[in-house]
Amino acid sequence: MNIDLVEHIQSEKVIKVKKFDQENPGLIDALREITSWNSFAASLVGQYDSHGTLSERQTGAAVAMLMKIKQNGKRTLATVDYRKVKEILDNAFADGINTPKLRFDGIVLSRAGDHGANRGAIYIKVNGEYAGKLHGGYFAPVKSTPEGTLERLTVILDHPLEQAVAYGRKFGSCCACGRTLTNHASIEAGIGPICGSRF
């Protein structure tokens, strides 16, 4: 590409960025803060980074979304390390289980699909109700997430096998596949050998 043309395109982009930021102060920074768990914000930031601006419709949608998040008091993000649990769920998926889950006392963790906006995320249910997700290194709760969920979740994420065994011994079923533990060794272990190997 012609050097002069490249410089002209870059110059136009700088002008667009400056104009957009003057008209919408702080908007892009606010969107960048939530890209780890909000796919719409991530797509808007990508558009801005590529073109130096957002359309009027996109800008309006971004402002409305940020206002809704603020009004709802939604998303008190907490940094968490869920690599152990993600590896277990990924191992189950690699073994042919399409929607891997891990059941704990009152909490169910499930692997998000590979083709959706939340690829890499882990969904959380507490007592059967959706309570948020683990994504981008964070726990992102919803407004209705019960008190104490983060503390309970932290124990599970730090010691998944120990918590899986505790579940199996308490309820008599495997935390991973959900089947009743019938083999004496599995009952003693609190988990079956195949599911246990994924830990």
Give the chain's mean pLDDT.
Answer: 87
- Do 131 and 168 lie in one domain? The reply is yes
Which of 49-53, 119-123, 141-145, 149-153 shows the lowest per-residue confidence on average (mean pLDDT)?
141-145
- Do 101 and 186 lie in one domain? The reply is yes
User: pTM for the complete prediction?
Assistant: 0.65
Q: Which helix (H) or strand (E) holds 152?
A: helix 149-158
For residue 92, give the nearest of 20, 4, 174, 31 by alpha carbon. 174
- Do 20 and 107 lie in one domain? The reply is no
- Do 56 and 119 lie in one domain? The reply is no
Report pLDDT digits (tens) over 125-174.
999 999 999 987 888 888 889 999 999 999 999 999 999 999 999 999 99
One-letter amino acid of 145: T
What domain range includes position 50? Answer: 3-72
Task: Tell me how many domains the chain contains.
Answer: 2
pLDDT of residue 130: 94
- Do 111 and 186 lie in one domain? The reply is yes
Do 129 and 136 touch, CB atoms closer than 8 A?
Answer: no
Planar angle of CA 63, 68, 70, nearest 5 degrees = 95
pLDDT of residue 9: 55
Beta-strand relationship, 107-111 and 101-104: antiparallel
